[in-house]
Amino acid sequence: MKVLVIGSGGREHAIVDALTRSPQAEKIYCAPGNAGIARQAECVPIRETEVERLRDFAAAEGIGLTVVGPEVALAAGIVDVFKAAGLRIFGPTKAAARIESSKEFAKELMARHGIPTAGFRSFTEYEAARAYVAGRPFPAVLKYDGLAAGKGVVIAQTLEEADAALRDMLLDDRFGAGKVVVEDYLEGPEFSFMCFVSGRRVWPMALAQDHKRAYDGDRGPNTGGMGAYSPLPFITAEDEKYALEHILQPVADAMADEGCPFEGVLYGGLMKTAQGIRVIEFNARFGDPETEVVLPRLRSDIVDIFCAVAEGRDARLEWHDFATLGIVLASKGYPGAYEKGYEIKGLDRVGGTVYHMGTRADGDRVLTAGGRVLFVVGQGATLAEAREKALADVARIECDGLFHRTDIGHRALDETEK
């Protein structure tokens, strides 16, 4: 079968890499791809949001399966357009993808179905939002109600900070016109629970934890994610069972009951609070960078799973026992302004896996081309060994324009090292 992957980041590189392990994927394409993906797939110069061009390409090339990476393609309706043309595609429709693209849709669905999450109210008016926040305890959690590349959430410690964020989102329309959801502040370790979902069928993946803050010690601004690892020693089998039975399965059922059944990856961003497990957010796709540490642990043939989801059949997921830990190399300045075009050297000296997140080929050279640039994955019998390997590989990569966190996995490793 010919398979097309949509997207250009580390997540898509990990999906392409998993596809190369399937005997069923006879030829792999990626649109638009990047310099690393180009070594494992044929890159097609069509952007993620050009959904009609992608459909025409898939039809003309006889693509048997298309797998969608990024939320922008889902929000652009790529699944609806492919399905209307009779093409097999892995991902939710635009209506089902609202579980991610609209915070308000997700919060209201959870409220209707008793799914545990932080209390919330949504606002369109700056004055009303400010008055509400001023009368509540801090920190205040403010979320822009739409896609904002992981940058639409502000945890404000003071009224001044909250005011600045509300002005930004509601008066200056920084992410576009829209609402703001104000949520109760929750505390506890966060984890990512991704499931393959096909209507009411839900197959859990191995758990992972992302690190959203830019700098060591979980300091600095929120980013798209600076590192990840799997498995998670601090989430018990009971926690996982609870999350599956009280969160992921009921959400899949709720979407089916409400006329927009979900197909694809449903990603629960969950928090283990003192009061129990709560939903922080849902995504309608594979997480990035979680996918880069979870898919290497998948033993099953990923083409079988993608096809089972798309066709509403049963599938079984099997996992490797080893641990994975990955570190993002990001452009200095990210998630703020940064420069691109720095040459990356030493990639051939790396022993483990490197997924490209934002790179560009220039002849034989590889250049930085995004905020998050590379994802270096270590694999080991334990998380400690996986981290050692990842850090050793990071040290082999030379590039002036990059920085990284050195404490990925600290929540799991600091505990076991004690």
Question: By the criterion CB under 6 A, which residues form the site for ligand GLY?
Answer: 150, 210, 225, 283, 287-288, 290
Using alpha carbons only, what angle is made at residue 266 by residues 260 and 272, rounded to the nearest 5 degrees? 125
d(CA 369, CA 380): 30
288, interface contact from ligand AMP, ligand GLY, none, CB < 5-8 Å by kind: ligand GLY
Q: What is the DSSP letter of 167?
A: I
280, interface contact from ligand AMP, ligand GLY, none, CB < 5-8 Å by kind: ligand AMP
225, interface contact from ligand AMP, ligand GLY, none, CB < 5-8 Å by kind: ligand GLY
The interface mask with ligand AMP, positions 213-252, x = CB under 6 A, is ---------x------------------------------
The distance of Cα 364 from the centroid of its chain, to the nearest Å, equals 30
Encoding tokens for residue 184? 């109760």
Per CB under 6 A, contacts with ligand AMP among 106-125 are: 118
- When asked if residue 186 is in the footprint of ligand AMP (CB under 6 A), the reply is yes
Q: Which is nearer to ligand GLY, 100 or 301 (CB)?
A: 100
What is the number of alpha carbons within 13 Å of residue 206 lying toward its C-beta? 26
Q: How far is the CB of 106 from ligand AMP (least distance, A)?
A: 9
Q: Which is nearer to ligand GLY, 106 or 133 (CB)?
A: 106
Q: How far is the CB of 119 from ligand AMP (least distance, A)?
A: 9
Q: Considering only residues 182, 280, 293, 305, which one is a binding residue for ligand AMP as defined by CB under 6 A? A: 280
- The DSSP annotation for 171-230 comes to IS-BTBS--EEEE----S-EEEEEEEEETTEEEEPPPBEE--EEEGGGEEEE-S-SEEEE
Q: How far is the CB of 110 from ligand AMP (least distance, A)?
A: 12
Q: Which is nearer to ligand GLY, 142 or 162 (CB)?
A: 142
**C-alpha distance across the termini of the chain, in Å:** 50
Residue 23, preceding bond cis, omega within 30 degrees?
no
Q: How far is the CB of 314 from ligand AMP (least distance, A)?
A: 31
Q: How far is the CB of 278 from ligand AMP (least distance, A)?
A: 8
Q: Is 62 left (phi over 0), alpha (psi -120 to 50) or beta?
A: left
Q: Considering only residues 269, 352, 378, 409, which one is a binding residue for ligand AMP as defined by CB under 6 A? A: 269
Using alpha carbons only, what angle is made at residue 293 by residues 289 and 298, rounded to the nearest 5 degrees? 130
Q: Which is nearer to ligand GLY, 162 or 293 (CB)?
A: 293
Q: Is the dihedral of CA 296, 299, 305, 306 positive or negative?
A: positive
d(CA 213, CA 236): 25
d(CA 43, CA 22): 19
Q: Which is nearer to ligand AMP, 145 or 393 (CB)?
A: 145
263, interface contact from ligand AMP, ligand GLY, none, CB < 5-8 Å by kind: none
283, interface contact from ligand AMP, ligand GLY, none, CB < 5-8 Å by kind: ligand GLY
Q: Which is nearer to ligand AMP, 221 or 341 (CB)?
A: 221
Q: Which is nearer to ligand GLY, 32 or 150 (CB)?
A: 150
Q: Which residue has the tokens 């641990």?
A: 323
Q: Which is nearer to ligand GLY, 100 or 240 (CB)?
A: 100
Q: How far is the CB of 331 from ligand AMP (least distance, A)?
A: 21
Q: What is the DSSP letter of 247?
A: I
d(CA 323, CA 384): 9
391: Cβ contacts below 8 Å, ≥ 6 apart: 327, 378, 406
Q: How far is the CB of 225 from ligand GLY (least distance, A)?
A: 4
290, interface contact from ligand AMP, ligand GLY, none, CB < 5-8 Å by kind: ligand GLY
d(CA 181, CA 105): 11
d(CA 91, CA 285): 7
Query: In this structure, are residues 236 and 242 in contact, taking their beta carbons and an 8 Å threshold?
Result: no
Q: Considering only residues 12, 48, 281, 288, which one is a binding residue for ligand AMP as defined by CB under 6 A? A: 281
Which parts of this chain interact with ligand AMP (CB under 6 A)?
A: 118, 141, 143, 150, 153, 155, 183-186, 190, 212, 222, 269, 280-281
